[in-house]
Chains A and B, each alone.
Chain A
Amino acid sequence: MTVETKLALTEQDVRSYSSAKQEPSWFAEYRVQALLAAENLPMPTPDKTKIDKWNFTNFPVHSVESTPFASIAELPEEVKAIVNNEQKSVYIQRNNTPAFLQISEELLAQGVIFTDIFTAVREHSDLVQKYFMTNGVKSDEHKLASLHAALLNGGVFVYVPKNVELVEPIQVVFLHDDAQASLFNHTIVVADANSSVTYVENYLSTVPESAGLVNIVSEVFAEDNARITYGAVDVLAKGGTTYVNRRGIANRNARIEWALGLMNDGDTISENVTHLVGDASYGDTKMVVVGRGNQKQNFTTKIIHWGKHSEGYILKHGVMKDEASSIFNGIGKIEHGATKSNAVQESRVLMLNEKARGDANPILLIDEDDVTAGHAASVGRVDPLQLYYLMSRGISKQDAERLVIHGFLAPVVNVLPIEGVKKQLTEVIERKVR
């Protein structure tokens, strides 16, 4: 069903949406409390970007109805290009509609849960309740988190039971092909003890411009000894603002590795935080960004060390062209007691035009003596001597620049775990820097 709204939804709107989705009462109550709380909560304050004039609250409709896909063959070409035929487990959400789900026999036999968030809330209520906005992102952190909880209208739930190691990646595509649609997607990925999973999601607009809002939260939990590789490529159209919060919790000896290609064309606030809670936990964030036009973006990547012997690595490469401007905040935080931890980060920004702006802010906050930490940051332009060298072999200036830029972004592109997604990201980069 479609819920029409003008500026904001009322408590009644939220209740009726929730009941139409047959959500359990705890979830409906959670939404309502979050909605009421939202009014008095402050906005998040991304460092060095003023967002008080940004629109995060007005959107045309809360939910749109789209036609599901009966088979992979029916998918639009843009989606087919990223979903490999051999891809066994894939979920596709079209705007706000769960549109296609395929899950391999093997996953089912191993007890893996892989479903849209609505089904998960209905059928795996206890499990969802355990993880939904409790230890990861809390709804009372700020206004956008609470609005997210109240207005949640999509997302996916992945649960990998103890001792199950998945070889095949799980793929999710959030297709955005209705300019009126707003996405309040919530993703939960849980790898229970001693398990492993590779999860790859795509946000893909096929409309040139969007009137809707995007407010996405991902919560990622790696229990003891678990491993999660989380790949994401966001390619959302200009027009609507995007708030995206991807957060991970790594318990004892667990690993969370992020590979994020953030290619939105609209103004974006992205927050990626990994809590290294357990001893010997490991977090690795690799991120690439291309900004163009006059978009404004803020990317905060943060790894917080709580456990002893925890290791956190951040690598961010951004390319800014036209009049795009971006802030890259990299934060390594070592809490008291996290002895023998290691926090390392590197941020590099390449600016292609005079008016493009990129700021890299490396921050180390260390509350423990017996640790190691390091950071490197640079902001600059394409090296004319590199161009000269490439051109001296006959390569045109344009192609030489292209090679240097692709090379600059390669460390992240190369680690994306699905070939189709890697290729797509390469093509998006190509299109954006041209």
Chain B
Amino acid sequence: MSTLVIQDLHVAIDGKEILKGLNLTLNTNEIHAIMGPNGTGKSTLASAIMGHPKYEVTSGSVTLDGEDVLEMEVDERAQAGLFLAMQYPSEITGVTNADFLRSAINSRREEGDEISIMKFIRELDSKMEYLEMDQDMAQRYLNEGFSGGEKKRNEILQLMMLQPKFAILDEIDSGLDIDALKVVSKGINQMRGEGFGCLIITHYQRLLNYITPDHVHVMMQGRVVKSGGPELAHKLEAQGYDWIKEELGIEDETVGQEA
């Protein structure tokens, strides 16, 4: 079993503090959902864990099985077993999806032990089929000209090909129609099990109808303010966030950033 521990995490962007002492512990074989209204720091959490260049961790710690994640370069975090399905994946001209994925897989293997092309193509084909993706997407340039839904599927394809210990899904459900949502959920559910932990960031309960979380957390003002089981998500769906604000005496749940 692996464990990702986030302790008292403070994160700033352009000098402005967004996360203000966040605590969270994830184990493999668990699915956590982080919910919360817009502007409460959910995506900042995802970016800070992965090491986005614009986000500055001002204090606190993130450890993966005791190893200091914040000391690692972005690629080392991925090598250690972290994965972030991004809300806005970059488009990279001239680099095919397949070449990119093969480079990513080989980055985890020793020189001389690269994945055979045949094996790679077999795996890629079967996973693309599972995600109902057009086969020609393997030869298209990475995310270039992909629709919103295609980009999200492509993130899940990468997740399935790379098999990380922990995946963070940053609003993977935004902009997806119901069919795409089902396909994306199917991919995540297939990953579910021993050796895989997941943190789903969303502000809709909708996705959680297809992926039942073990734990649900609510973020406000840059912290986790409430945690519970799947029933918490249902209550939020039915009643919104106001009851939590009332319960905790919060007037403005955001961390005060524009956007």
Taking A389-B89, A392-B74, A404-B92 as known contacts, 7 extra A-B pairs with beta carbons closer than 8 A to each other, sorted by chain A number, are: A385-B90, A388-B52, A388-B53, A392-B75, A392-B77, A392-B83, A410-B95
Give which listed residue, A383, A394, A395, contacts B90 with CB less than 8 A: A383
**Which residues on B sit within 8 Å (CB–CB) of A393?**
78, 83, 100, 104, 107, 158, 162
Give the contact-size bracket for chain A.
20 to 34
Cβ-defined contact, B108 with A394, below 8 A: yes
* 0/1 string, A128-147, CB within 8 A of B gives 1: 00000000000000000000
* 0/1 string, B176-206, CB within 8 A of A gives 1: 0000000000000000000000000000000
**How many B residues have CB within 8 A of the partner chain?**
29
Q: What would be 27 A-B contacts, judged by CB atoms less than 8 Å apart?
A: A384-B53, A385-B53, A385-B90, A386-B90, A388-B52, A389-B86, A389-B92, A390-B92, A392-B51, A392-B74, A392-B77, A392-B83, A392-B84, A392-B86, A393-B78, A393-B162, A394-B78, A394-B162, A395-B75, A395-B103, A396-B107, A397-B73, A404-B92, A407-B93, A407-B141, A409-B94, A410-B95
A391–B142 Cα gap in the complex (Å)? 14
Would A394 and B104 be within 8 Å (CB), given that A384-B53, A388-B52 are in contact?
A: yes
A409–B51 Cα gap in the complex (Å)? 28
Cβ-defined contact, A389 with B90, below 8 A: yes
Give which listed residue, A383, A396, A406, contacts B95 with CB less than 8 A: A406
Cβ-defined contact, A403 with B93, below 8 A: no
A400's nearest neighbour on chain B, judged by CB, is B75
Cβ-defined contact, B141 with A394, below 8 A: no
Within 8 A of B (CB), among A394-419: 394-397, 399-400, 403-404, 406-411
A21–B169 Cα gap in the complex (Å)? 73
**Which residues on A sit within 8 Å (CB–CB) of B84?**
392
**Which residues on A sit within 8 Å (CB–CB) of B94?**
406-411
Cβ-defined contact, B93 with A408, below 8 A: yes
Q: A209: shortest Cβ distance to chain B, in Å?
A: 32
Which applies to chain A's interface (DSSP): helix, strand, loop or mixed?
helix
B79 within 8 A of A: yes
* 0/1 string, B29-48, CB within 8 A of A gives 1: 00000000000000000000
Cβ-defined contact, B95 with A391, below 8 A: no
**Which residues on A sit within 8 Å (CB–CB) of B89?**
389
**Which residues on B sit within 8 Å (CB–CB) of A404?**
92, 95
Cβ-defined contact, B107 with A407, below 8 A: no
B18 within 8 A of A: no
Most buried by B among A388, A397, A403, A408: A388
Within 8 A of A (CB), among B53-89: 53, 73-75, 77-79, 83-84, 86, 89
Cβ-defined contact, A394 with B100, below 8 A: no
Q: B140: shortest Cβ distance to chain A, in Å?
A: 12
A403–B142 Cα gap in the complex (Å)? 11
A317's nearest neighbour on chain B, judged by CB, is B94
Give which listed residue, B83, B92, B99, B158, contacts A386 with CB less than 8 A: B92
Q: A190: shortest Cβ distance to chain B, in Å?
A: 34
B50 within 8 A of A: yes
Within 8 A of B (CB), among A177-198: none
**Which residues on A sit within 8 Å (CB–CB) of B141?**
407
Most buried by B among A384, A393, A397: A393
**Which residues on B sit within 8 Å (CB–CB) of A396?**
75, 107
**Which residues on B sit within 8 Å (CB–CB) of A407?**
92-95, 141-142
**Which residues on B sit within 8 Å (CB–CB) of A384?**
53
* 0/1 string, A242-253, CB within 8 A of B gives 1: 000000000000
